[in-house]
Structure formats: C-alpha cells, structure tokens
Amino acid sequence: MDGFVNLHKPAGMTSHDAVNRVRKIFMTRKVGHAGTLDPAASGVLPVAVNRATKFLEYLSAREKSYRAEILFGTATNSGDLDGEVVARAENFSVTVDEIKSALKFFVGEIEQTPPKFSAIKIHGRKAYDLARKNLDFDMPTRRVKIFRLELVDATDISATIDVDCSAGTYIRSLAVDLGARLNLPATLKKLIRLRVGDFTLADSVTFDELDESCLRPIDACLKHLPKFNLPERRIRAFMNGLPTTVNSADENFLRVMSGGKFLGVGKISGGELRSTKIV
C-alpha cells in the first residue's frame, strides 16, 4: 500500500492528528502530509502512505488555492478567531469597491510576515511555542506570490475571497494585511483549502470514505515533473545512484520511468542523470 491520499481535513483537527488517524486506518507508521493546514481550517491535505512519503517534498512546493472569509473590525494575536482579541473597531463599514481596490495591492510578488502563532522555526524552536510563553521575538519576512485574488462575497464587516498563491503563503497574514490596507483591524474567520497542485477539494475524501481504493499511484501525483524514459539496461545504475550519460539539458527534477514503471525522481546535470529519490 503505497501512494497519496487526497484527504479532506475537517476543521478542529491538526495536520499531525490527521496523519495519526491515517496511520491507524492503513496500519502503518510511514505516513506524512504535504503543506500544513491550520487546525481551524478545513480542506485539501495531501497525505503520503509508505514509500510515497519519500516524494512529499515535490508536492509541498506546489501552488495552492483557498477560500477565505475575513472579518473586519477585530484583530487577534494569532490572526484567526482562535487567538485573543487585541484590537477592535466600532461604527465602521467597508464597501465592495474599497475591498476590490485593496485586493489589487496584494496580487503579484509581495513581502509577508508570517503569524507568530505558526510552526516556523525561530532559533530551532517553533514560533507558536515562543508566542504561547509571551516571549518577545521577531518573525522573518518572506517573499510569496499571489497569482489571483477574487472577491466572492462581501458584507459591511466581512469579505470572502478566493486566493491562488505560492507555497509558503499565510492566509492569516493576508487577512491582517488586507485589514491594514483598509485602516481596520482584521482577522481570518474561516478558511478552506480548495487545491494543492492537482489535488482538488472536489476529488478529496473524508476519513469515513478512506480506504485502500483511495490511494493514488506515486507517479500519477508527480505528473507536474517532466518525464524521462530511461533505457532498461540503466535501471540498476539509476537505482544505485550511479550516473547515466544523457543528451539532455540540465533539469532539476524529472519523473524517471522505464518500461512504463516508475523508478523515482532524478536530476540531470552536466549531461549526466542521477537519482535523487527512488521508490
């Protein structure tokens, strides 16, 4: 039983808890996930079982899509409703035009400060552990890309938006920054992850639906990587990490096949193909 599961994580459960539940269902310790989803959020969580765990890194870096409901007039220390309220605004309203105008500011490559209540490591310790102890520390900023921001619905005090973004983007930070652009405190009220690469919410499965038939083949989930057909006589060399001379341009990651069989991921450098991960 090797492969990926397109899991629909429910709200109220950590990604780690979801992995533990999948371990029990498949009766194996070799389970991991691609792209942490906050406990309060629901939606797509790609989960790898057994040998598929080797290839999680090639899914984690893929683009993601979200639907987010943002509440204006309230700010919390975590950027969502699980945190403590740190600011409020009274007697305000925002218009659709104001929200649309503010959203345009965030499309493209932007600099973002992740929430202090996050799993990012600060000097070897998770930021949320430091934040819970009220320790003072600075969060490093990062460059992320927002490919699309679309206003789905709006009221006088909230906005629901669809977001297509790069890996590493924090929607909680986007909610706070959008509020700041409107001169209002803001927090993330609800978040659904709609997509991770080719894993979509429409094709996801719940825990009640999860069984062996839900496993997707490893190579089928890596089709975003260019395919390389390796001669059968070089299979053993590839699996043992030995180079194979090829007449191809340098390529960071390739989905290496031979005779219709998936062997692993390889890299071409200086006219030589070597394995980086094998099944």
Strands 158-165 vs 186-196: parallel, antiparallel or unpaired: unpaired
Cβ neighbours around 144 below 10 Å, total:
19
Contact 62, 197 (CB under 8 A): yes
Phi/psi region, residue 6 (left: phi>0; alpha: psi -120 to 50; beta: rest), is beta
Written as six digits, the tokens of 154 are 């709006």
Is position 38 annotated as part of the catalytic site? yes
| Helix (H) or strand (E) run with residue 99 in it | helix 96-104
Q: How many residues does the chain have?
A: 279
Contact 92, 73 (CB under 8 A): yes
Contact 111, 141 (CB under 8 A): yes
Q: In the chain, helix, strand, coil percent, each to 5?
A: 25, 40, 35
Among the options 17, 38, 97, 153, which is catalytic? 38
Q: What is the DSSP string of 154-201?
A: E-SSEEEEEEEE-TT--HHHHHHHHHHHTTS-EEEEEEEEEEETTEEG
Catalytically active residues, by annotation: 38
